[in-house]
Amino acid sequence: MHNGNNMPQTQEILTILGQVCDPEIPVLSIIDLGIIRQVKISDNQIEIIITPTYSGCPAMDAISIDIKLKLIEHGYSQVKITSILSPAWTTDWITETGKRKLKAYGIAPPQYSGSPAKNVECPQCHSQHTKLLSQFGSTACKALYQCNDCKEPFDYFKCH
Amino acid sequence: MNPLIQFTLFLADSNLILSQKNAEWCGHGPILEQDIAITNITLDLLGQARYFYQYAAELMNQAGHTHITEDSLAYLRTEREFKNLLLCEQPNGDWAQTVLRQFFYSVYQQSLYQQILQQSNSQLSAIAEKSLKEITYHIKWSSEWVVRLGDGTPLSHHKMLQAIKALWPYTGEFFTPTDFEKEIIPIDYEKLKMQWIDSVQNVLEEAGLPMPQNIFMHTGGKLGSHTEHLGYILAEMQYLQRTYPNAQW
Ligand SMILES: [Zn+2]
């Protein structure tokens, strides 16, 4: 992430943004998700540059509104949100903290896109003995898996 | 109209109309997981369409139009102004026809967007880059269905044959460039066709389905000459904005 020239203020804004959650996976903040690409601070305005996760993700509009509201709450009234598409978001940008939170929430975190595919681990019993039920899960970002050992179906945040 | 705007609208319209057709499956899929799969694909197509419409609106407003938005482009244009591929407006038919339509379109989309990605137009390339990640999943899902049905029971095989017969005549349009396509960016249509035929042939072979030969191809969608189906689609999709102009949620 590139930061503006005003480091302490940038840090403060990032801390505030850390309180904005993904409406569909409320344990993840938008910082955990890796969609904040840049914070630009000028005398009269703060510009937040974000990148969408999935094209059709209805959460993106909600996230933009939540960012504005949260910053207004902290006294920043002139906020501009700019969405950029390139470079395209990848699940590799989800932070390690984000991955831990996902697992604790019962969603198997994404594997690294470059590394060889391993078995998806069951977030309940940690078994590697799992199978894909459907490439598409309850939201665009998830695939549906089932554990062959504990039999629990679970969501896998698929590699993107 | 400037060829770049026409081309952008062509990309947007094809995605929007196919997503509108696919959306009819919402709540009617053969099983829950597949209902979710087709509606997820539908959302992706719609999201990609929105990027193209937003870009087209920006270009049009710069070119002197006023108050053009992604919504006005989707809801307030007439049938003759829509430039979508004829394939995208064809009826859902049965599940075989729906998955085959998606497969034909996604494979075409992949090859076309890979070429757009190499172009100097940064916004179109950015949309292509983003979309290609999603298209990979769409191809995987739809090709698995083509194989599963083609190589399934005699009944599912028969339904796949019917689907090929119904949809194949609308695929020729993919590779027949219009003037606006020729004018804007150098797309290699021969390469596009070869890649498409190659990918489709591999999957049809695996599915035990024949590759049709020398069939008459319909064209015209890109220039606004549509089959009888588009009017009905627009009537339903545009109803609210036509009846209650500027209505908002
Ligand atoms: Zn388990």
The whole-angstrom distance between B204's CA and the closest CA on chain A is 21
Q: Using CA atoms, how far apart are residues B127 and B48, in angstroms rounded to an integer? A: 7
Which structural domain range is residue A46 located in? 10-83
Indicate whether A2 belongs to any domain: no
Residues A39 and A56 in one domain: yes
* B86 token code pair: 């004829």
Residues A76 and A115 in one domain: no
Contact list in A for residue B141 (CB cut-off 8 A) is: 135-136
Rounded to two decimals, the ipTM of the complex is: 0.81
- Tell me which of A83, A116, A147 is where a domain ends: A83
Residues A71 and A117 in one domain: no
Share of chain A above pLDDT 90, in %: 69
Indicate whether A3 belongs to any domain: no
Name the residue among B36, B51, B126 with its Cβ closest to that of A134.
Answer: B36
Residues A78 and A111 in one domain: no
Give me the architecture of the B3-243 domain, per CATH.
Answer: Up-down Bundle (1.20)
Give residue limits of the domains in chain B. Answer: 3-243
Residues A109 and A152 in one domain: yes
Mean pLDDT taken over chain B: 95
Whether residues B131 and A84 touch (CB distance < 8 A) is answered with: no
Average pLDDT on B148-162 reads 98
Residues A100 and A72 in one domain: no
Q: Could you report the per-residue pLDDT of A23-82, keeping only the tens digit for each? A: 888 999 999 999 999 999 988 899 999 999 988 887 888 999 999 999 999 999 999 999
DSSP labels, B141-205? HHHHHHHHHHTS-HHHHHHHHHHHHHHGGGSGGGG---HHHHHHS---HHHHHHHHHHHHHHHHH
In angstroms, what is the span from residue B83 Cα to ligand 1's centroid? 49
Match 């599940």 to its residue by tokens.
B95
Number of separate domains in chain A: 2
Indicate whether A40 belongs to any domain: yes
Q: Using CA atoms, how far apart are residues A109 and A130, in angstroms rounded to an integer? A: 14
Classify B48 as helix, strand or coil: helix
Answer yes or no: are the C-beta atoms of B95 and B79 closer than 8 Å. no
**What is the pLDDT at residue A3?**
47
Q: Which of B156, B148, B123, B130 is nearest to B7 (CA)?
A: B123
Residues A50 and A100 in one domain: no
Whether B128 has a pLDDT exceeding 80, the answer reads: yes
Indicate whether A1 belongs to any domain: no
Sign of torsion, CA A123 A15 A138 B40? negative
Confidence band (pLDDT; 50, 70, 90) for A5? low
Name the residue among B37, B48, B126 with its Cβ closest to that of A136.
Answer: B37
Indicate whether A150 belongs to any domain: yes
- Tell me which of A83, A102, A136 is where a domain ends: A83
- Tell me which of A63, A83, A103 is where a domain ends: A83
How far from the centroid of its chain's Cα atoms is residue A141's Cα? Answer: 10
Confidence band (pLDDT; 50, 70, 90) for A123? very high
Residues A69 and A28 in one domain: yes
Residues A117 and A70 in one domain: no
Around Cβ A95, how many Cβ atoms within 10 Å?
Answer: 14
Share of chain B above pLDDT 90, in %: 91
Q: Using CA atoms, how far apart are residues B176 and B225, in angstroms rounded to an integer? A: 14
Whether residues A85 and B130 touch (CB distance < 8 A) is answered with: yes
CATH classification of the domain holding A38: 3.30.300.130
Indicate whether A4 belongs to any domain: no
Contact list in A for residue B23 (CB cut-off 8 A) is: none
Residues A74 and A17 in one domain: yes
Half-sphere exposure of B160 (CA within 13 A, CB side): 28
The whole-angstrom distance between A66's CA and the closest CA on chain B is 18
* B126 token code pair: 């950015």
Q: Could you report the per-residue pLDDT of B39-54, keeping only the tens digit for each? A: 999 999 999 999 999 9
**DSSP percent split of chain A into helix, strand, coil, nearest 5:** 25, 25, 50
- Rounded to the nearest 10 degrees, what angle do helices B122-150 and B32-62 cross at? 160
Indicate whether A5 belongs to any domain: no
Contact list in A for residue B33 (CB cut-off 8 A) is: 133-134, 136, 144
Q: Which residues surround ligand 1, an ion (CB under 5 A)?
A: A 122, 124-125, 127, 147, 149-150
Residues A78 and A108 in one domain: no
**What is the pLDDT at residue A56?**
83
Whether residues B40 and A88 touch (CB distance < 8 A) is answered with: no
